[in-house]
Amino acid sequence: MKEYYEKKTVAFSKDSSNLFFHILTKCNLSCKHCYINPGQHGENTLSIETIRQWLNLFAEKCSQINVIFLGGEPTLHPDLLLAIKEARSLGFKSITIDTNGYLFHDILNKISPDEVDFISFSLDGATEKTNDSIRGKWCYQTVIAGVKKAVAAGFSTSMIYTVSSENLHELSMMPDLVKELGIQRFFIQVIGIRGNSAETLSNFYPPSSESSYSEKKNNLELPDNLNLPDNLDLPDNLDLPDNLDLPDNLDLPDNQPSDKHFLQLSMEQWLEIVPKVAARVAKLGITVTYPKVFLEHGEPFQCAGVVADNYFIFPNGRVYRCPICEDYPVHSLEIQNNTLVQTDKINEADLFGLEIPEGCVMNKLIQPGNISYHGDGTPCHRIACCMLKEEIS
C-alpha cells in the first residue's frame, strides 16, 4: 500500500481538450440516472462515414484532444472498431470507450490494447443488489465479467461510479473491489448535490415516482435573486429569481427535472464520505478523480466554457461546451452538413461569462436546489464548474 499520495485540482487548459462523442443514443439498459435525452440529443446512429467526417473537424488540434466514445452504449455501434481506427490514425491524444460493460459486437476481440488508451466501465454499486437496482438486472455480473476479460486481454481499464443516495453506502467497499479487478483509474461522479431544497425535492420526486418525462418537464423553479431582463420569453411556469443579469432575449426552454433529483446527495454527505474513499483508493496505487463541487474560501471560480475547450457532441449534430446545458437547446455549436458552425444567440456561451456569487451560473439556473444560503441571502458555498476535478494518485 502506498504511504503517500498526491492530491491536486486539475487545472483547466485550452491545451488539453476533451471530445465526448456520443455516436448513438441507443442503449440496452435504462439506468435510473441516465442523462441521455433523445428529444434533445437525437435517436439516430451516426454512420461510420459521418463519424469520420466529424472527427476530422477536430483534426487540426487532435494531438491535444482526448476523444471519448460514448452513447447510449457505444459498443452497440457496429462500426465502433472503425471509429477507433480513424481516431487513432488522425492522432488524437487519447482514445477511451465508455461502456456499460456489455461489450457488444465482440469488441474486445476486434481491437487491441494499442488501439485504445482506456476502456471505462460503469458500475454503480459494490454489490449486485445495489448496482442492479440502479442499472438493471444482470448488469453487475456482466460488468465484472467484462472488466476481467478486458484486464486479462491487456487493456487499461477505468471505472466510473456515479454516487447517489442509493449507492453512497457502498462507496466504501469500492477500493477493495477496484483493486481486486485490476482497475487503473477510478472516477467518482456525482448526480447532483442538494442544499436546502433537499426535502422539498425529495417529496416532489419520490424514488417510487414513475411520472413520465412530459409530466415532469414543466416543474423546475429557478432560484430567487436572478435579475432577468423584462423581455425574456420564458415559460409561464418558471419561477424566476431577481438579480442575475442575463442577456436580452434569452428563451429558456421548459425545464426538465428528472428522477435524478431524488438520488441526489447533500453537501454534508458528499464532503464526509467521497474524499475519504478517494484517498483510500489512491493509497492502493489507483488514480482517483472526483468533482470538486464546492469551492474553498478564496478559491477562484472558473467556467470551463471560458477557460477550457471541451466538446459534447450528440448524434443530432448539437455540440455543447457545458454538460449541464445538455437538456436544453442552448448549444453554442452545431454540426451542419459536416461543418462545425456557431449557433445563433442566445446560447450557453452567452451565459458562461456571467459572474454571480453562487459560482456556476448554469447550476443556479438549472439546479438551484444545489445551493444553500445564509440568512442574509449570501450563498454558503460557491459551486465549482462541474468539470473541475480533484485528482489523487
Binding interface with ligand SF4 (CB under 6 A): 27, 29-31, 34, 36, 71-73, 100, 303-305, 322, 324, 352, 360-363, 385-387
Helices 139-152 and 174-181 pack at an angle, to 10 degrees, of 40
Amino acid sitting at position 53: Q
Q: How are beta strands 118-122 and 94-99 bridged, if at all?
A: parallel
Name the minimum Å distance from CB 45 to ligand SF4: 13
- Closest CB to ligand SF4 among residues 51, 386: 386
DSSP string, 198-211: HHHHHHHS-TT---
Name the minimum Å distance from CB 56 to ligand SF4: 25
- Closest CB to ligand SF4 among residues 197, 367: 367
Name the minimum Å distance from CB 385 to ligand SF4: 3
Name the minimum Å distance from CB 386 to ligand SF4: 4
How far is the C-alpha of 301 from the C-alpha of 243, rounded, in Å?
Answer: 19
Name the minimum Å distance from CB 100 to ligand SF4: 4
Helices 48-56 and 80-90 pack at an angle, to 10 degrees, of 20
Residue 271, Cβ neighbours under 10 Å: how many? 15
- Closest CB to ligand SF4 among residues 49, 296: 296
Please tell me the number of Cα atoms within 13 Å of 237 on its side-chain side. 9
- Closest CB to ligand SF4 among residues 178, 191: 191
Name the minimum Å distance from CB 279 to ligand SF4: 25
Residue 136, Cβ neighbours under 10 Å: how many? 16
**CB neighbour list of residue 307: distance below 8 Å, 6 or more residues apart:** 12, 13, 14
- Closest CB to ligand SF4 among residues 282, 387: 387
Please tell me the number of Cα atoms within 13 Å of 186 on its side-chain side. 33
Residues β-bridged to residue 168: none
Of 276, 265, 230, nearest in space to 250 by CA: 230
How far is the C-alpha of 70 from the C-alpha of 78, rounded, in Å?
Answer: 13
- Closest CB to ligand SF4 among residues 146, 175: 146
- Closest CB to ligand SF4 among residues 175, 257: 257
Name the minimum Å distance from CB 166 to ligand SF4: 14
Name the minimum Å distance from CB 72 to ligand SF4: 5
Provide long-range contacts, Cβ within 8 A and 24+ apart, for 297-303: 299/382, 301/359, 301/360, 301/382, 301/384, 301/385, 302/12, 302/385, 302/388, 303/352, 303/353, 303/360, 303/361, 303/385
- Closest CB to ligand SF4 among residues 161, 352: 352
